[in-house]
Amino acid sequence: MNSSIAAIITAAGSSSRIGVKKEYRLVGDKTDMEGRPLTVLGKAALAFAACSRISTVVITVPNDPNLGEFAARDSLPARLLKSRGKPHFFFVPGGPTRRASVHHALSMLEGYHPGYVLIHDGARPWIEPALIDRVIDAMLKHRAAIPLLPLTDTPKEIDEAGIVKRHLRRMLVGNAQTPQGFSFPEILRAHKRAAEREQAEGWVYTDDAEVWGEFVGDVFVVPGSPLNKKITFPEDLEMLVRGDTNETANRHRP
């Protein structure tokens, strides 16, 4: 099987819960090699560009002339786009949902015939190279791998009336992170089938591991990182401005 690896960074969302395009916000006082302030998307892209095993990076962008490819390019360190070496960067308009946006990127990559693909949330700027390598190693061995962060609180399963139905074992439940890694031909086929189910039943998939699990098979787990925080709520932007990830790490310590 082809062992080349591509990466998809999702940045096509509207950031409706925050009210600003979070991927284009600055990360504290961090700067790139040219001295330009680093954005959320730029910091995430640098982590994947530093991985020599990745040959191609596709970034999904909004279908909006003010927030689309031009804005995404402007938010990246210039050297990433000017470099003639790997990885090569491409941009693709997203769809109405995250899953649809990933599907667009996978379809674009089909012409490059990668063997594997990593899929990462562009709103996770603190991704560490060691975590990328862990996911790649497990992906190459098991065909599908995701990082999982253990829970510190005891989870409960409830019904629609708000009544607890099951007391789940904390050690058997965790929070999924990205990047999530998959065999490329299989995850592309799985997304095609997921699109068909969405159209027929109105189903919503929350991450790519769910798509793989339903249409392909088992997903292997590697340890996640408490620093690999996703910017989701307004208070996350406050932490972003400070460039502080210690608070995030402390939240996940037992």
Reported as a pLDDT band with limits 50, 70 and 90, residue 34 is low
pLDDT at residue 21 tops 70: yes
Percent of the chain with pLDDT over 90: 72
pLDDT in tens, 48-86: 999 999 999 999 999 988 899 999 999 999 889 888 788
Residue 253 domain-assigned? no
Reported as a pLDDT band with limits 50, 70 and 90, residue 250 is very low
Residue 92 structural domain: 5-248
How many CB atoms within 10 Å of residue 157? 10
Residue 125 domain-assigned? yes
Residue 254 domain-assigned? no
- pLDDT at residue 243 in the model: 59
> What is the C-alpha to C-alpha distance for residues 117 and 106, in angstroms, rounded to an integer?
9
Residue 207 domain-assigned? yes
Residue 122 domain-assigned? yes
The 8-class DSSP code of residue 36 comes to: P
pLDDT at residue 121 tops 90: yes
Residue 177 domain-assigned? yes
Largest CA-CA distance found in the chain, in angstroms, rounded? 57
CA 193 to chain CA centroid, nearest Å: 21
**Gyration radius of the chain over CA positions:** 18
Residue 200 domain-assigned? yes
Tell me the average pLDDT across 88-102. 96
> What is the C-alpha to C-alpha distance for residues 219 and 181, in angstroms, rounded to an integer?
9
Tell me the average pLDDT across 207-232. 96
Tell me the average pLDDT across 24-36. 76
Per the structure, how many domains does the chain have?
Answer: 1
| CATH number, position 121 | 3.90.550.10
Give the mean pLDDT of the chain: 90
Which of 28-37, 57-66, 166-175 shows the lowest per-residue confidence on average (mean pLDDT)? Answer: 28-37
